[in-house]
Structure 1
Amino acid sequence: MTSVNYFELQGRDGEARVGRLTTPHGVVRTPAFMPVGTAGAMKGMHWREVRDAGADIVLGNTYHLMLRPGAERIAALGGLQRFTGWNGPMLTDSGGFQVMSLAQLRKLSERAVTFRSHIDGTSYELSPERSIEVQRLLGSDIAMQLDECVRLPAEHSDIERAMQLSLRWGERSKRAFEKAAPGHMLFGIAQGGDVPELRRASARGMVDTGFHGYAIGGLAVGEPQAVMLAMIEEVVPILPSDRPRYLMGVGTPADILEAVARGVDMFDCVMPTRNGRHGVAFTRFGPVNLSNARHADDPRPIDEESSWPSTRSYARAYLHHLVKAGETLGAMLLSEINIAYYQDLMRGIREAITQGCFAQFRERARADWARGDIAPR
């Protein structure tokens, strides 16, 4: 499996990289942000809006999809792309994080994790082999190994135990993936919490196993940004330079920018749509809370220079009204505005790396965020 590489590194500026990842359903331009369609849908958005905003790839969640409507049902209906109507590349996570954070009465063993569904209490067993089987049934372009993610802060012994278990589960996941169709990929996941030597050991073990791509998991779970960045700096130098690197569950625009500067290629997070449903827009001036009363009489758009029509067309006063009235349209508009901003950010990052001016782009973005939203005239 490790002899096949679907990633083309096209250029770099310092540690920041630009590339192309070829999947059975299309090419992913990196650095890439993957909007999260947890249960096979983007909350508040149509797939065409996600595509028009510039997303090449989206993420689906193994845990939620195996519970409802079921992996076997999706497979019988033609796979995740045909079932959902998203015709581009898809990555599915392994379900491990959701089992640890959502499931009831879970029990962990060397073999698997057993748990009861948070929906109806039905008992399930999720092993590395079953996780891969479910992801193959879903038909995702990129599958993730099953791992154990420990919430921080945690005891050193708990972090090390979970890291070692994740390495063993990675080996089992790889064996289970050997029958996957050509072109489909499996990514390994480095764990190790906030302990540098455990992060390095996990990365080395993962590389020894050999995957199509490499993820950094167990971060953005409450630790300070400085800790997250320090752990990235421990892991990235160990990873093969010719394979994609994925920072799972991250994050804010600032987190993404700093991780790109340290050599990361792929990201995902629910933040754009979740914050949009709570009245917050992401902009080049930083977050803007549309529920704030100062927007009630403001006729200006969020950003008249934005490339996204909704960002430059709808008055802040109208968006404020929709948020305060609890209108579904408000959540829909702010979700698409946020996804579009994230994709604009990634496009700007890729262009800056290609042109050799990523450092200047990074400083300009930081300065704009620090200056904050433009005050009314």
Structure 2
Amino acid sequence: MTALQFDLLATDPDSHARRGTLTLNHGVVQTPIFMPVGTYGTVKGVMPRSLEEMGAQIILGNTFHLWMRPGLDVMGAFGGLHAFEQWNKPILTDSGGFQVWSLGAMRKISEEGVKFASPVNGDKLLLTPEVSMQIQTVLNSDIVMQFDECTPYETQGRITNEAEARRSMELSLRWARRCQAEFARLQNPNALFGIVQGGMFEHLREESLAALVEMDFPGYAVGGVSVGEPKEDMRRITAHTPHRLPAHKPRYLMGVGTPEDLVEGVAQGVDMFDCVMPTRNARNGTIFTRYGDLKLRNARHRNDPQPLDPSCTCHACAGTAGVSWADGGRGGFSRAYLHHLDRCGEMLGPMLTTIHNLHYYLNLMREIREALDAGRFGEFRRQFASDRARGV
């Protein structure tokens, strides 16, 4: 068992951007990387084989939802999530902290953990740091996340104050120690990450970071962003925290975000990203392209023969030949056809747009890695901003 090995291959002299490899029990991940989200054991609408073809190296599962359904008896019978969903590459599982936070009034947080009513059948349940570690051990995920309290941006309709953010952060630190102890007791052969909290307060982030580094986790995440805060606050915390984490360990920015967020996150030293945005937006008709975002439901696409992105080589844009319009190809599906599928509610529509959006995100990360390898990340960053501002 490898558990985790992180090798730093290159750094950018003008930013905190870095290039590396992350070796886990189910394979090697090239970083920086975007991780598609497969909450219930599947990335919605996408076959595992298609994920591999578009360059996915690691995907997410969710502790909370897989605990609810299908349950640990089923997951245990399959030896974990890899065999259950037929994915042989690495998997990261969220601890369930964000999901119980999102239950709102349906949950009660205490030192022990979180009591809540199951959204599936109403059963009264208790999720603790120990239970989260036990579930993730059954799931056999390559990267296990500590159970934390996701510090909200707003509390009861007002912005969370410093005292509230401190209480939340300190609770997460106590839970982190309990997670470590239970993880060790279970002899889990994978890797456990700590999560930096502290809300929108830089000095709290530094306190959280220092305490977690002292616990010596194999990797670290920045949590508590993309929880309703203004974009400028998210960018402020992203600019402050990641590069302060240990340089010899992987850094993960949780739940972020837009293509611009990914590029700026890389510039601040982030190695790993996840977000539901490319898949959720695809199902709602918002398409990410090299030249900006496309609203597929707009009537102007009713007769448009172009693919979603003429420069893209995904199956939706370039067809089986994989040759983009920009390179002389004429395969793939038109905007008019995909607009029609969306209007009719045909399931092929969101399947194809999801493939495109994920391909775009994964290809963006591949281009970032190539730019870092070539020592031209700054040039890439400027060209990316120019292309996205151009508009479709």
Q: Which interval holds the TM-score relative to the shorter structure? A: over 0.9
**Cα offset for 1:150?**
2.0
> 1:5 Cα shift?
5.4
Structure 2 residue aligned with 1:348: 367
Q: 2:234, 2:73 → 1: CA distance?
A: 37
1:209 aligns with 2:207: no
What letter is aligned with 1:11? A
Structure 1 position 35 matched with structure 2 position 36: yes
Deviation at 1:79, TM superposition (A): 0.9
Shift of 1:280: 1.5
Distance 2:258 2:245 in 1: 24
Deviations 1:267-300 (Å, cap 9, x if unpaired)?
A: 0011111111111111101111111011111111
**SS at structure 2 position matched to 1:192:** coil
Alpha-carbon contact 1:204-1:238 (below 8 Å) kept: no
1:232 — aligned with what? Answer: 238
Q: Distance in 1 between matches of 2:294 and 2:342?
A: 13
1:4-19 alignment, distance < 5 Å: 6-14=5-13, 15-19=16-20
SS at match of 1:6: strand
- What code does the residue aligned with 1:12 have? T
State the Cα deviation string for residues 276-325 of structure 1 (Å, max 9, x = none): 11111111011111110111111111223212131231111101111111
SS in 1 for 2:387: helix
CA distance in 1, matches of 2:77, 2:188: 20
CA distance in 2, matches of 1:103, 1:157: 20
Equivalents in 1 of 2:11, 2:186: separation in Å?
32
Aligned residue for 1:178?
184
Conserved 8 A contact 1:142-1:186: yes
Match status 1:156 vs 2:162: yes
Q: Distance in 2 between matches of 1:44 and 1:286?
A: 23
User: Structure 1 pair 194/358, CA: closer, same or farther in 2 (3 Å)?
Assistant: same
Residues 174-217 of structure 1: per-residue CA shift (max 9 Å, x gap):
11111455751000000001011111111111111110100000
Is 1:119–2:120 an aligned residue pair? yes
Task: Name the counterpart of 2:329.
Answer: none
Equivalent residue, structure 1, for 2:325: none
Tell me if the contact between 1:167 and 1:206 (Cα under 8 Å) persists in the aligned partners: yes
- In structure 1, what is the equivalent of residue 95 of structure 2? 94
Query: Could you tell me which amino acid in structure 2 is paired with residue 370 of structure 1?
Result: A
Q: 1:71-150, aligned counterparts within 5 Å?
A: 71-102=72-103, 105-150=106-151
Once residues 381 and 285 of structure 2 are traced to their aligned partners in structure 1, the CA distance between those partners, rounded to angstroms, is 27
2:277 maps to 1:276: no
Aligned to 1:64: 65
Mind listing any 5+ residue stretches in structure 1 that lack a counterpart?
none
Report the equivalent of 1:289: 295
- In the aligned structure 1, how far is the partner of 2:104 from the partner of 2:142? 26
Corresponding residue SS for 1:178: helix
Please provide the CA RMSD for this pair.
Answer: 1.5
Residue matched to 2:174: 168
Is the contact between residue 188 and residue 213 of structure 1 (CA under 8 Å) also seen in structure 2? yes
1:29 maps to a residue whose letter is Q
Q: Displacement, 1:119?
A: 1.5
Maintained 8 Å contact 2:147/2:175: yes
How many equivalent residue pairs? 371
Paired residues of 1:280 and 1:288 also in contact (CA < 8 A): yes
Q: Is the 8 A contact 2:307 2:335 kept in 1?
A: yes
The whole-number CA distance in structure 2 between the counterparts of 1:7 and 1:263 is 14
Deviation at 1:363, TM superposition (A): 0.8
Q: How high is the sequence identity, in percent, across the aligned residues?
A: 49
5+ long unaligned stretches in structure 2: 154-158, 319-331
| Contact 2:315/2:355 (<8 A) preserved | no
Task: Say if 2:261 is the partner of 1:255.
Answer: yes
- The 8 Å contact of residues 106 and 117 in structure 2, kept in 1 or not, is answered as yes
Local SS of the residue matching 1:18: strand
Query: Which segment drifts farther, 158-167 or 73-82?
Result: 73-82
For 1:307 and 1:126, how far apart are their aligned partners in 2? 43
Paired with 1:341 and 1:307, the residues of 2 have a C-alpha distance of: 9
Query: Where has structure 1 moved over 6 Å in runs of 4 or more?
Result: none
Partner secondary structure for residue 354 of structure 2 = helix
Distance 1:5 1:48, change over 3 A: closer
Rounded Cα–Cα distance in structure 2 between residues aligned with 1:232 and 1:323: 35
State how far apart, in whole Å, the 2-side matches of 1:283 and 1:179 are: 47
Alpha-carbon distance in 2 for matches of 1:133, 1:182: 9
2:243–2:268: 8 Å Cα contact kept in structure 1?
no
For the residues of structure 2 that align with 1:234 and 1:303, how far apart are their CA atoms? 34
> Aligned partners of 2:105 and 2:119: how far apart in 1?
6
Q: 1: distance between equivalents of 2:365 and 2:300?
A: 30
Whole-Å Cα distance in 1 between the matches of residues 240 and 129 of structure 2?
A: 26
For residues 367 and 35 of structure 1, what CA distance do their matches in structure 2 show?
A: 26
Task: Tell me if structure 2 keeps the 8 A contact 1:103–1:116.
Answer: no
